[in-house]
Amino acid sequence: MDHFRPTLRKLKLTHLRDFLYGGVSSTFKKHSKANIKLMDARRIKESVSTRKMEKSYSLRLKELSGTYPENQEKNVSPTVSPDEEISDGCKVFYPWESISIYRSNMTSLDLVINDYNYVMALLHILHVRVFKPSSLDFMKIYKQLKLKMKLAYEAWNRKIELNSLIHYAILKTLQQKMADSTKALHKFANDPRYND
């Protein structure tokens, strides 16, 4: 959609021509390189923070067990390059928050909306106005799109394949269910009403 002229901040519904939601919107495509760079920097920062905690915990265990190397400083942490020190004020936005509205005069209104309910409400209005559907069950399409975008982002963020992410989520759910069941069984075992 590069042929569209720069956006104006007002929109009349009578001028509404079309809209795009997600990663294909001009909102996201226009800033995709910078945005992905920021997301990657945030991922690196979180990874460094995790490594720091793991290192600190490992050194503490060695200290307690008496195996701490005498010639090693205690305040050891991974080296962080200046490029990895990204401030928390970075304005990162995601595809499922991006909507581009196109007017009949070939201009666009590019939006980033953080609130899920506002996104769904606007998509509902836009869809009804543009496509004039006969039924109102079309919102499940946008919910499925959002789920797919979040799954794809999480797989990218963890640097794993999408099917591995789904398998991991299923395994984690089963482990949580087993933990809940074990907790419930222990509770019943210690309840005097069930020990007669």
Range list of H helices, the chain: 26-30, 32-65, 116-131, 139-158, 162-189
d(CA 34, CA 192): 62
d(CA 166, CA 172): 10
Position with higher pLDDT, 160 vs 38: 160
Q: pLDDT per residue over 107-135, tens digit each? A: 888 889 999 999 999 999 999 999 988 88
What is the separation of C-alpha 194 from the centre of its chain, rounded to a whole number of angstroms?
45
Structural contact between residues 99 and 122, judged by C-beta atoms closer than 8 angstroms: yes
d(CA 27, CA 114): 13
Among residues of the chain, what percentage have pLDDT more than 70? 69
> Which residues partner with 102 through β-bridges?
18, 108
> Which residues partner with 110 through β-bridges?
100
Position 173: which residue type? T
Q: pLDDT per residue over 100-112, tens digit each? A: 999 888 888 888 9
pLDDT of 151 higher than 70: yes
Give the chain's length.
196
Q: pLDDT class for 69, splitting at 50, 70, 90?
A: very low
